[in-house]
Chains A and B, each alone.
Chain A
Amino acid sequence: MNTWLLSILIFSPLLGVLVLMFIPSHDEKSIKWLGVLGTLFPLGIALVVLSAFNIAEEGLQLAERFSWISYEVFQSKGEVKYPIFYEVGVNGLSMVLILLTAVVSVLAAIASFSIKQNWKSYFILFFLLEMGMLGVFAAQNLFLFFIFFEITLIPMFFLIGRWGYLEREKAAYSFLIYNGVGSAILLIVFVALFMKTGTMNFEQLAYTLSLPQAELNQLFITKGFKMGMLIALLIAFAVKLPVFPLHSWMVRVHVQAPPAIVMIHSGILLKIGAYGVIVFGAGMFPEQFKSLAFIIGLFGVINLLYGAFLALTQTDVKRVLAYSSVSHMGIVLIGLAAVNESGMTGAVFQVVSHGLISALLFFLVGALYDRAGSSELSAFGGVAKRMPILAGIFLAGGLASLGLPGMSGFISEFMAFLGLFEKMPVLAAVGTLGLILTAVYVLRAVLAITFGAEKDLHKADDLSSSERIPAFVLLAAILFIGIYPAWLSDMLRPTLDAILLGLGG
């Protein structure tokens, strides 16, 4: 059973697709419930995987490896075989992200109850998206990674373009174009690495690239080549993350896509960027990564401050949250730039924590939009009076976002900054300005909605029970990580230690 577990997990969303095929497309209720059930199934398997996962063990677990494609090329140095395997496996880092994916998907499926039309195709695309995301985190070679990476793009494009708000098509296109460029760069890098090293497996690749320079010269891998590969990788993932100045697509998507999709997008898809930087950037080009650390840190601080500054004066709560995502992704970069344990751990914590927090906030914004028909800050006021639970959770989410201790946001910010202060104290000190700004814009948005004089909304019911489930689950998860971070950090430690060993610090 265990040998197939991961593959079952990755392709488990397809079961939902299969079942949905046989449901008439007008049967709204059963489609929606099947949508939720279809995401619960992968979650169940993910939990089984978690139970089979040994936290203390280092390296890859539950690995599967099958020969898939193979071809030979005649070269002057003789016949060279280029095998491509189907390889999946999990380590601490990907386990965490897979779990996050499964959880957020379930909640997003529940949040999808507010979708108004074409439920069937919506959920089919939704499942494909989930499959892509699970695959990205479980893939253990470049080829598979790239395929799953692309699989996430296409359903996402349609999900934004068909079910979004007014300017959905423009948003979908800018999503596709930016990410298309990103994955084109990625493809070039992957092919170049494959050509030079003859392997696509992450571990083998990392091993090959860590050989002494004399041996690398035989493979025609120079230092310049490595640096070029790293920079290209960073740019490709910077689009995904997104890093200033490549962020404008993300803001547009966050404003235009339906809330459930933004939960997925902001919660997980952005994290692929961070995951990529950690696994490919820091994992495969440690020396070069270290030499670029300052620039990464600088971009991190720029992201943090730029996002925060722009979030200050936005009038649409979705835009505030979108820029806050830009800002929070800066913290990921800051943590990575620190190139030490606490920084790396902080970056991954931020990945998880922002995944949960932004999922929560966008979910609530979706709920608010349902009630007001608008997401302009000026349309709201005094929500706390009629909808105390919604307002309370919104406030809690906001506080988590600004890094209140006891919630997950604090741990990640703390660790990321702790890391950076060791290496670049001045830059870090500038970055802390972002913590103040975050407080200002979060409170501005949250208070504008929940506090103040009450304004009329066309529907002023508090969260319904089906809306409470995602909200409470997410809040509980945020609090859990905030209060008991050891659970997560223990899971991550072996993986991050291995990466840090490569980084030599």
Chain B
Amino acid sequence: MLQMSWLIPLFPLLSFILLLLFRKSKSESTAWIGVLLTGLSLVMSVGVCLAVWQGEGIKTEGTWFQIGERAITMGFEVNPLNALMLVIVSLVSFLVHLYSKGYMHGDERFGVFFAYLGLFSFAMLGLVLSPNLLQLYMFWELVGLGSFLLIGFYYFKPEAKAAAKKAFVMTRIGDVGLFIGMVLLFWQVGSFEYDEIFATVKNGDISDGMLTLTALCIFVGAVGKSGQLPLHTWLPDAMEGPTPVSALIHAATMVAAGVYLVAAMYPLFQASEAALTVVAVVGGLTAIFAASIGLMQKDIKRVLAYSTVSQLGYMMLALGASGYVAGIFHLTTHAFFKALLFLAAGSVIHAVHTQNIEEMGGLWKKLRLTGPLFLIGALAISGVPLLSGFFSKDEILASTYADGKYGLFWLAVIAAFMTAFYMFRLFFLVFTGEARQEKKDGQKDVHESPSVMTFPMIVLGVLAVVAGYLNTTWFGTFLSDYLARGPVELPHGDHHGPVWIPLVATLASLLGIGLAYLIYQRGTLSRDWITRSFPGLSDVIYNKWYIDEGYDQTVVKGTTGLSKLGALFDRYVVEGLVTAVTTGVQRLGRIGSRLQNGQVQSYGTAAIFGIVILLLIVALTGGYFS
């Protein structure tokens, strides 16, 4: 089984190629190609994961090309961490394929959509299987391409165009960081292989400064991909893509690639205390920062997007606080419940054809399946006990506390409170109360989505509940035991801090839910209570802390300004110099032409003068050949 694991990414690639060829087919049954092939990937991934669970991983490589004596290799590697990722990615991908069959029904580029999904799945699975940094980087970029294509799927919409461009460019900034880190590491280690890098790091062959520098550069890549502060602005905008895409790429898999990267390179980070601290701080700040923005958003997908950013911050925080298992654990559970939430949101949008939560309401009765499933997702993400989110979040908090990062710990608690609040604000506004949407003429009644859409949600709903039991202090720490067999040496020591931590976390989430209930369900507290109390602050939060505007004013304006300046420079200075030379020559020619009086004798005199001068030179120097 393990030897064949390189086939896993190739199934979606095949799907991509086939679907591009059948692009013109009107039949929507082409979707089954994609579903079937990703299904095969899923089956193989589960097989691989089970194989790794029982035994060892595998690593196979061959020479890709050579630079001088150095061989650049390609291959695949299966270890506990990426086997787990394989399952997550192929599972969510498979479910999203299925879901899209219903969601994209009737779109004129139906086949192309599935082709792009295939391309993305290929890249993501390839990324996970990569045994070296270079290969990871290549798939890393291809994943970005997939994301770009899918965000820009509705290419005729200017917003989609802008969002796609923004996503690509913002992540590219991160990618360049990763690139620099990777190349710097190469010259320290002489190889891109994880094994060799870790071995060199372990031997202490790299200076501390270099370690921190490379780790931070690689982290910049993760920041870009995972939408961490300050490169997070593309992720909410990426919601312009179709909702299944948001679920697959911008919730469950691609954005988690940043976390995966840090996890995969964990020995490097472990070797540098400073790098770990930066990771933790960035993660913690992102968590609370994004959560604060999520409080005020009106677009259902944007709320979820900010929540994604915030949860990714959590994962980074965990990794930065030596909570390796906690980070991966949260990645896993988050993939399930966030995909669930997005799919449910897609189902809602599918039903009501709007994304503005203020135009929804009272959908609980109409969407008999979607409603409860969304509730499960919301409860899970809020960290209500016994659901998956509770366990993973608890572990993050515990490891943060155990690592002595108390400030970040309390930030995380507040973020948990906010998470609970905005998730239930969303839930109450969408599913309870009066129906607020105006019925447009000829629009069909709100109805539940077809089973091809609800089935994936049910699967995810079940997983969102049970995934937490992968790693609990009560039943067993399967996940930690499993991950401990990987290349990463897990930090020792008990991460399960004081007993009061789960209590505090539960309290925070329940408080959040309660507050949301009071404001949006019971109306006990006025909705604009906070807005009125802190007008300035809420304004800032509503406008996403003006980060986008800030970038526009500084980076974008600066760059275009510089470019325009460069254009002027090019036209007037560079061209000008040339023009100056040519006009100079022309002037000289004109002066020279005045000497031409057309009389042979004058020319003759000039010629004689020339000869005389030459002769003089020859006479004075004694001649060239003598």
Contacts and interface: CB of A to CB of B under 8 A. Distances in A.
Direct contact of A and B (CB under 8 A): yes
Interface of A: 74-76, 174, 177, 244-245, 247-248, 306, 309-310, 312-314, 340-342, 345, 382, 384-385, 388, 399, 404-406, 410, 414-415, 417-418, 421-422, 425, 428-429, 432-433, 435-437, 439-440, 443-444, 447, 450-454, 484-486, 489-490, 493, 497, 500
A248 B574 contact: yes
A227 B180 CA distance: 33
Nearest to A319: B567
Contact of A312 (B65, B158, B187, B559): B559
Contact of B577 (A245, A422, A435, A486): A245
Contact of B567 (A310, A414, A443, A490): A310
A486 B65 contact: yes
B560 A454 contact: no
A447 B161 CA distance: 7
A174 B581 CA distance: 12
A486 B63 contact: yes
5 contacts: A309-B562, A340-B68, A382-B156, A432-B179, A484-B65
Interface string B62-78: 01111111100000000
A489 B180 contact: no
A20 B567 CA distance: 44
B164 interface: yes
A443 B64 CA distance: 29
Interface string B38-68: 0000000000000000000000000111111
B574 A313 contact: no
A484 B577 CA distance: 45
A384 B155 contact: yes
Contact of A497 (B68, B70, B138, B566): B68
Contact of A443 (B63, B69, B165): B165
B574 A245 contact: yes
B65 A485 contact: yes
A422 B187 contact: yes
Given A74-B625, A417-B183, A447-B164, 17 more contacts: A75-B625, A248-B570, A310-B566, A313-B560, A313-B563, A341-B70, A385-B156, A388-B23, A404-B141, A406-B142, A433-B176, A436-B169, A436-B172, A451-B156, A453-B158, A485-B64, A490-B66
Task: Rank and list the top 7 A-B pairs by shortest CB-CB distance, nearest first.
Answer: A341-B68, A405-B138, A486-B65, A312-B563, A451-B161, A451-B155, A313-B563
A314 B625 CA distance: 57
Contacts of B570: 248, 310
Contacts of B155: 382, 384-385, 450-452
B306 interface: no
B179 A405 contact: no
A471 to B, nearest CB: 15
B567 A314 contact: yes
A176 to B, nearest CB: 12
A245 B575 CA distance: 9
Contact of A432 (B69, B138, B141, B176): B176
Interface string B163-176: 01100110011011
A436 B165 contact: no
B180 A432 contact: yes
Nearest to B556: A440
A489 B67 CA distance: 8
Given A312-B563, A453-B158, A399 B145 contact: yes
Contacts of A76: 625-626
Interface string B1-37: 0000000000000000000000100000000000000
B578 interface: yes
B156 A454 contact: yes
A248 B172 CA distance: 29
B366 interface: no
B139 interface: yes
A489 B562 contact: no
Contact of A486 (B64, B142, B169): B64
B517 interface: no
Contacts, number: 134
B231 to A, nearest CB: 12
A324 to B, nearest CB: 13
Contact of A435 (B67, B172, B186): B172
A280 B71 CA distance: 28
Contacts of B137: 405
Given A421-B183, A436-B173, A451-B155, A306 B566 contact: yes
B575 A248 contact: yes
Nearest to A413: B179
A439 B172 contact: yes
A484 B168 CA distance: 25
Interface string B444-460: 00000000000000000
A447 B165 contact: yes
B585 to A, nearest CB: 10
Given A486-B66, A497-B68, A418 B575 contact: no
A245 B552 CA distance: 30
Interface string B143-167: 0010000001001101011001100
B184 interface: yes
Interface in B174-217: 175-176, 179-180, 183-184, 186-187
B527 interface: no
Contact of B142 (A342, A404, A489): A404
- With most chain A CB atoms within 10 A of its CB, the pick from B65, B156, B577 is B65
B574 A436 contact: no
A436 B65 contact: no
Nearest to B144: A404
Contacts of B625: 74-76
A437 B63 CA distance: 32
Contact of A404 (B145, B577, B626): B145
Interface string B578-616: 100010000000000000000000000000000000000
A384 B154 CA distance: 11
Nearest to B561: A313
Contact of B176 (A340, A436, A444, A454): A436
A452 B156 contact: yes
A436 B179 CA distance: 11
A415 B179 CA distance: 12
A452 B566 contact: no
Interface in B349-391: none
B578 A248 contact: yes
Contacts of B23: 388
Contact of A421 (B164, B173, B187): B187
A184 B562 CA distance: 35
Given A312-B559, A406-B138, A485-B65, A439 B168 contact: yes
Contacts of A417: 179, 183
Contacts of A447: 152, 161, 164-165
B437 to A, nearest CB: 27
A177 B156 CA distance: 45
Contacts of B560: 312-313
Given A342-B67, A489-B65, A405 B161 contact: no
Nearest to A391: B155
Contacts of B184: 421, 425
B522 interface: no
Contacts of B577: 245
Nearest to A405: B138
Contact of A341 (B67, B139, B176, B187): B67
A310 B183 CA distance: 28
Nearest to A323: B570
B169 A439 contact: yes
Nearest to A308: B563
A450 B155 CA distance: 8
Nearest to B174: A436
Contacts of A497: 68
A314 B158 CA distance: 20
A309 B172 contact: no
B564 interface: yes
B164 A309 contact: no
B125 to A, nearest CB: 15
